[in-house]
A and B are shown apart, each in its own frame.
Chain A
Amino acid sequence: MPAKPVNKQVPSKGGIFSKFKGNIEAIAIGVKFFFNPQRFTLIYPKEYIKLKEGYRGFIVLRKDKCINCGSCARICPAAAMRLIRLPFTDPKTGKTRMKLWPVINYNRCIFCGYCVDVCPTEALYHVPYHDVVYETMDIMDLDLEMFQKEPEWDTEKLGLPVKYVVDEKMGLIKVKIKEEGEKQ
């Protein structure tokens, strides 16, 4: 069943009475929210949002799973993911060969997550946060060693974790997450 166009009318201009009513309604709803503000502001450094699983945050490499295929670098729309040629010693045979490893440049990354999705062995994964501070632009261009570590997340140390839940009355409600994962 396709959509159907329906003619609608804006409410008529009305006289003094409807204007008066409009003013009263506007002021009344203002007063209602004045006494019952219903806020859900996040007080940021003191609280932080613990993001849901599946959030496309910073990307980390599991080197042991990487098969050096280079798909991630090929699909990267921002040219943030690049391959770097490094020697690799095979633990089984003991031979050393040059191999291509992915490294990421967070100056360029747009967090589209294509690299994670295209990786055939799940060697890349997202961490569920994005508010990481780097001191200079240079160190945002990660090397292979840094790329394997989850970036340090200072927000976690400063604040309390909260999460937002969709609610019928309030829209969103802020729920504090206790250490053990209990809800308040």
Chain B
Amino acid sequence: MGPEELVERIKSLLGDFAKDIKIWKNDYIEVEVDKENIEEVAKRMKEFGFDHVKDLTVVDYMKEGFFRIIYNLGSYDNFELSYYIVGIAYNIPRDKPVTKTLYYIYTSADFQEREAYEAFGITFEGHPDLRPVLLSPPVAELKPLRKDFVVKEDPEIITKKK
């Protein structure tokens, strides 16, 4: 199954929910949806054969003012689908980072939603155990993966010592 064919099938599966579908580098398909429909989309994708969340990525577009939440779905059981990763992406505003959890559809998203919560401060409504997983609570409050948390990496390659 070529990527184009998969895109067609996803289009017919999701109908109007899919706002935009892009193919990146032949094996990564990014499907843009709306925040409101995410649960329905996830349910349909799971029935379609994408049975687990490979990873949950949040990208901070600080200048544009939104977070892009991407559930990268993969398949274990279906050999043809397992070649592809489908990223279900939707945007939420930076100043109100609240969204719905997919924990009850994809159990594999459990810790990853906690990670997104600690690193970006995104609240997943309905997640039963939303607390930091890697960071300690005081550090998690700084939301370290947001772009406005700046890490000072010494860019200077010329030293003045000695």
Contacts and interface: CB of A to CB of B under 8 A. Distances in A.
Report if A and B touch in the complex (beta carbons < 8 A): yes
Interface of A: 70, 73-74, 79, 82-85, 100, 103, 141, 143
Interface of B: 153-154, 157-159, 161-162
B157 A84 contact: no
7 contacts: A73-B158, A82-B158, A84-B158, A84-B159, A103-B159, A141-B161, A143-B162
A82 B162 contact: no
Nearest to A79: B154
A79 B152 CA distance: 13
A148 to B, nearest CB: 14
B159 A70 contact: no
A184 B83 CA distance: 54
Contact of B161 (A73, A79, A84, A100): A84
Contacts of A79: 153-154
A70 B158 CA distance: 9
Contacts of A103: 159, 162
A84 B159 CA distance: 5
Contacts of A85: 158
Nearest to B162: A143
- Which of B154, B157, B158, B161: most chain A CB closer than 10 A? B157
Contacts of B154: 79
A74 to B, nearest CB: 6
Q: 5 tightest A-B contacts by CB?
A: A82-B159, A73-B157, A83-B158, A143-B162, A83-B157
Nearest to B79: A5
Contacts of B161: 82, 84, 141
A74 B157 contact: yes
A83 B162 contact: no
A85 B159 CA distance: 8
A70 B157 CA distance: 8
B14 to A, nearest CB: 31
A100 B153 CA distance: 21
B50 to A, nearest CB: 20
Nearest to A85: B158
Contacts of A74: 157
- Residue among A82, A83, A103, A141 with most chain B CB within 10 A: A82
Given A84-B158, A103-B162, 18 more contacts: A70-B157, A73-B157, A73-B158, A74-B157, A79-B153, A82-B157, A82-B158, A82-B161, A83-B157, A83-B158, A83-B159, A84-B159, A84-B161, A84-B162, A100-B158, A103-B159, A141-B161, A143-B162
